[in-house]
Structure 1
């Protein structure tokens, strides 16, 4: 878990106290990288993987995904070995090309300019998170919470509660951005107003979350105005 940094100024009135970003599928379009890696690992073991299985793993804690791969394929590696192999393959792809999601970089820049701190809250492990964060200007994220640094992964609320502690903010004053049902459940259960941007898999309508088709064109103030009067004014 990274040490929080201090924002240059407090957020302006009407803006969230912080924004918590999921990574895979939300900040970067790396889900195809994961699916490619899953296919390769299973096929090299003599099995057949399919996108139905792959889509069940979107947003999961990596240990859960690794155990699922073991249970549904001839792969005999230990779960930790499966995770390490998946990460190795995805990191290679990210180092060749970081596939930013539409509108993500522009929104990050606007939030920084408005003095709103950002935290990355991902079930990917530190090696991959560092590869993505390293492609951004230094200080873009004031905290980074990764799946190998929490006891309970998404959909448990712990990752988002850890992000709030790292930044010293109240969860209800922040906004989370997620793309998967698992991630939305995690953020909402932590008490964070959540914006769902469905991508690879559909996200059910969830109390405590609103859905948008894309981050493209969203401004910092929109992250608050998307929610109804139940949120702070």
Structure 2
């Protein structure tokens, strides 16, 4: 019988979600969904919009077709939504509090980072381009995987491209869908809920804002055996 695996002392890498975690793009997505459904004579509710937070875009397209009456293929729906939200993001990237600072602190600590988002490459690209070069060693977008979140595939691919075991990585997420994906891949998860609540779980550590954290606090999440308590920065560390 093999010996139980001992977690790393701190996380070897950070795998970052984007929408709702690093950038507050959900309002742009929701507005685009409402507009598209209205144009096709359907009705879209807040509950429908919240059901799609963190979801794979093609899954979201199928949902809009079924529940919003949009008579297009899921792929066509995604392209329509992207046409609308890309312009919004390019004009003014809505960073979440503390996101840019924590990204910089993790990189200054020499820790590899991957972006793992269900947004497609043409939506993620302007966000990545607005950050200092080399902020992310790896970028995984929704059009890179056949199965998106909540399946483990995106986080497995992110860790693989970094050459690391996902069990040695900490993922940063804001949604139940993304959190399940990261957990299924074997990651510990720092959850910073935003638009939707995320229930507690044994692999989950919670924070109210990225602005409350420093790099050391984030990296310690990867070593915690049970992580359902709030985490904050160690203000005595540099």
Task: Report Cα offsets for 1:4-32 as digits up to 9, x if no partner.
Answer: xxxxxxxxx95421100000000100000
Provide the residue aligned with 1:51 in structure 2: 46
Which residue matches 1:152? 147
User: Which residue is 2:164 aligned to?
Assistant: 169
Equivalence for 1:135: 130
Distance 1:229 1:74, change over 3 A: closer
Corresponding residue for residue 103 of structure 1: 98
Contact 1:14–1:221 (8 Å) recurs in 2? no
Q: Which runs of 4+ in 1 moved over 4 A?
A: 226-229
User: How far is the alpha carbon of 1:131 from its aligned partner?
Assistant: 1.5
**3-state SS in 1 of match to 2:211:** coil
- Aligned twin of 1:9: none
Q: 1:160 to 1:227 in 2, by over 3 A?
A: closer
TM-score (ref. length: structure 2):
0.88
The alignment of Structure 1 onto Structure 2 pairs a total of residues equal to: 219
1:168-221, Cα deviation, whole Å (9 max, x unpaired): 112121110000000000001111010110000000112211111111131111
Please identify, of 56-65 and 217-226, the stretch whose mean Cα deviation from structure 2 is larger: 217-226
Indicate conservation of the 8 Å contact 2:57/2:142, yes or no: yes
Quote the Cα distance in structure 2 between the aligned partners of 1:128 and 1:207: 32
Residue aligning to 1:211: 206
Tell me the secondary structure at the aligned position of residue 215 of structure 2: coil
Aligned equivalent of 1:41: 36
Q: How far did residue 105 of structure 1 move? A: 0.5
Aligned residues: CA RMSD:
1.5
Q: Which runs of 5+ in 2 are unaligned?
A: 1-7, 227-238
Alignment pair present for 1:90 and 2:94: no
